[in-house]
Amino acid sequence: MSERTHKVIIIGSGPAGYTAAIYAARATLEPLVFAGAEPGGQLTTTTDVENYPGFPEGVQGPELMDKFKSQAERFGSRVVMQEVDTVDFSKRPFSVFSNGVEYFSESIIIATGASAKWLGIESEQKLRGKGVSSCATCDGFFFKDKDVVLVGGGDVALEDAIFLSRIVKSVTVVHRRDELRASKIMQERAFNNKKIKFIWDTEVTEVLGTDRVEGVRTVNNKTKEKNEISCQGLFIAIGHTPNTKIFKDQIELDEKGYVQTVKYTYTNIEGVFACGDVVDIRYRQAVTAAGTGCASAIDAERWIEEHES
């Protein structure tokens, strides 16, 4: 087998990709992992991770992902810090193109994840991990008895607001329209929650604070009135974008662009598997991503055995 021909290629790193690599490597499949544009996934932009099992004192996100990578390499995974440019799933072995080089593999595990949508303002990026978060279930604990602002208007936003209301002192939902996109039942629950209040037709224009979030500056997009809201946390809940651009027309995606699995981690293409946030629109947790990464490697190993015999 040449250096460019493999039994398993894993596209993407993060908890799903690296866990898939650990299991595939321990099955002596010697996987090649393309770590992608964001090696380690979203956890590399997170500071304290306190909900991953095995770390009772918590762990820094980048440190946790370094441990995942080291463990994968220890068992024989080859990790390259490259992006995949295009793929060809029309025939086996499958082709993966990166930096002008074509690689071949009998099976593929897609673990490219999904990226949170952000407001796109400079101060938001500066304070990410310092009070600005896109994951209420990950970071809500750090804001116990504090005032937070949440941006969004869909089901996920209201689910996050309700979740946060059990922990924080108050949740102010800032929405750019005068009505929510969320389902009626979620709206009723949020409107009836005394800890949640709404500010309509309004957008966050700046996050205030130097080392930690101290508030947000807003503008009413109808009256142009400007205001400041004092808070210690800002949660962005305006959706995620699955990182599946290179798979368009190659594999079945749903209407939002997430990879569709047809059974377990199998996709509609025999020999191509998917795991982690690229298929998960519900949980989006490191531990659930790792779990499906494990499953995809086991599925790939069994599929290879069946097709080699």
| pLDDT, mean of residues 156-169 | 95
Query: What single DSSP character describes residue 175?
Result: -
76: left (phi over 0), alpha (psi -120 to 50) or beta: left
pLDDT value at residue 45: 65
- Which one is catalytic: 48, 66, 88, 139? 139
- Given the residues 48, 66, 88, 138, the one annotated as active site: 138
Token output for 36: 């992608």
Place of tokens 């820094």: 60
pLDDT exceeds cutoff 90 at 151? yes
pLDDT score recorded for residue 50: 83
Average pLDDT over residues 32-59: 83
What pLDDT sits at residue 2?
A: 60
Q: Which residues pair with 141 in a beta bridge?
A: none
Note the pLDDT of residue 3.
Answer: 72
Mean predicted confidence (pLDDT) in 13-27: 96
- Sign of the C-alpha dihedral, residues 23, 26, 32, 36? positive
Q: What residue ranges define each of the domains in the chain, with the CATH number in brackets? A: 5-115+240-308 (3.50.50.60), 118-236 (3.50.50.60)
Give the percent of the chain with pLDDT over 70. Answer: 98
Whether the pLDDT of residue 123 is over 70: the answer is yes
The model's pLDDT over 67-88, given as tens digits with 9 standing for 90+, comes to 999 999 999 999 999 999 999 9
Which whole number is the average pLDDT over 120-147?
93
Evaluate if residue 21 carries a pLDDT over 60: yes
Q: CA end-to-end span of the chain, whole Å?
A: 18
pLDDT digits (tens, 9 = 90+) for 180-229: 999 999 999 999 999 999 999 999 999 999 999 999 999 999 999 999 99
Mean per-residue pLDDT of the chain: 94
Using the predicted structure, report yes or no on whether residue 8 has a pLDDT greater than 80. Answer: yes
Q: Does the annotation mark 249 as catalytic?
A: no
Q: Which residue is listed with tokens 């800002």?
A: 234
**H or E element, residue 296:** helix 286-308
Task: Please confirm, yes or no, whether 275 is among the known catalytic residues.
Answer: no
d(CA 272, CA 308): 16
Pairing of strands 196-199, 170-174: parallel
Retrieve residue 112's tokens: 């490219």
Please pick, among 48, 135, 147, 201, the residue that the annotation labels catalytic.
135
Is 138 considered catalytic here?
yes
